[in-house]
Amino acid sequence: MVDSLNDTVECAVVVGLTWTFLDGECAPAMYARLCRHLAGCQGCLDHYALEGRVKNLIATKGGGEKAPKRITWGP
């Protein structure tokens, strides 16, 4: 159905790699493939834009969201 070994990447794969891509942890070869896919796929492009916005939101919160759960009651 889809020749995944060729230059094309399935939408599902592209979406699955969103955070890898946004975090810059993508292999250069895959990065190029994703860019090519995004250039021709509005749906995935929209998805990446949305996730990128979420990532920015998290980043601007300062990353201090990890409130330690202190359990003060105990035996």
Residue 69 Cβ vs Zn ion, minimum distance, rounded to whole Å: 39
Number of residues that bind Zn ion (CB under 5 A): 3
Shorter beta-carbon distance to Zn ion: residue 8 or 58: 8
The answer to whether 48 touches 21, Cβ cutoff 8 Å, is: yes
Q: Are 14 and 27 in contact (CB under 8 A)?
A: no
Single out the residue of 21, 41, 43 nearest to residue 32, CA to CA. Answer: 21
34-53 binders of Zn ion (CB under 5 A): 41, 44
By CB neighbour count within 10 A (0-12 exposed, 13-18 middle, 19+ buried), where does 55 fall?
Answer: middle
32 lies in the site for Zn ion, by CB under 5 A: no
- Which of 5/67 has CB closer to Zn ion? 5
- Rule CB under 5 A: which residues touch Zn ion? 11, 41, 44
